[in-house]
Structure 1
């Protein structure tokens, strides 16, 4: 079904969205897709604004809480769902269309095929969330096909997912251009996330220390710290807040490959972490430049 929210078109079935996308292509307009799980905030709007920079593009935002990427003890049932407010926000931003399917629409009876994301999907986020990336990449592959997307926009907060998506698009020859968009942060440094609404005021203050720890690690790298020292500085900062339960702190190269014991050259890298504040699990990351090092 396709309906309209002022100037915003709303598609609820894959067939309707595909028909809309094919009409757009027939009219010479590229499709710029912004995949989301809803509960939209200004970080999502930053993706929308980036998508609107594609000349003559029709921006389509998908809103789908994807059950395939949630584990049995995760927050699928409680994940915030604010569809009416989301549609109003998208209309106010001049988005061309929204896609809001049901799980049955996306995974009808008999659905069996999923994406195997490869070894990186078992590390970091994948180590504690088995199957998460298979679910995330599967739904993105479906969304790319359903929407006939020419461009797709993803925030760098989910940096591991973005890296795996780049690999999938390359390996499967999917004709879509991926556009990474920088993390949107509050003035305190806290990365915007739909899960931030779970936090109490006290927990929010603690959560702000995640980005502060990353900045401490980046500052150490800027001063010539080795990779091991960067991780130690980041962990030591977080250790000052025992209420924060750290899952992992990892430093990888920009493609998320593990670092060697030495390098003769400066190297762009990514410092990533996950931690639980109260009952809320949050992730964050920051880019940095490593100086030549030798252990």
Structure 2
């Protein structure tokens, strides 16, 4: 569904040349919750911004359902981006707009009719359990509620892919768990493919079915968490696979059933 082929990104900073992403090839299948994990500075956030061309790759190609985003005319790329949503660590809500207006914002840009926008806003807020906050402002919400609004806004255009850049890093443990539950719900009930960037192994173990490990701008290994025969080559990979036991699988299945 989502394919990166030898993608690279170089930033020119004054007299410094920084290779943030180096020759990354990656395939994300439809229905995956694909985790990209690594330490700070590994290139994770740079990579996810290349996946929807918020940043344009210096080299390589990005394909969605076989279509090369890096070779699209601007108008076609804007239209295609509507199927790729993104949520961020710090929510990026518009503080002087209500919850309803925040969720409606991408629909206004896409010129949806007013009645359709209202119905879709209510539907999306219902998904994240915040219909009662329709007329509230972001300043009155908790961190977890703000991120749930961000998820609702991301789902407004009915995307096929949701990119998540450290979506729980700014939240307390209870709110983090709520967000993971809602991401599972979006994936399982709505069929949305999710790519989640994180430095937290607990998140990968909680909801991801596949994982890629990044180090110094390179994707050094990828594997399915269900593949018990796989022997990781990185320290992070080895730590992740230590949790692939029956109790872990039972926990994941119970959470998916709940979500």
Q: Same fold, TM exceeding 0.5?
A: no
Q: TM-score normalized by structure 2?
A: 0.30
Whose relative contact order is higher, 1 or 2, with alpha carbons under 8 Å and at least 6 apart?
2
Larger Rg: 1
TM-score (norm 1): 0.27
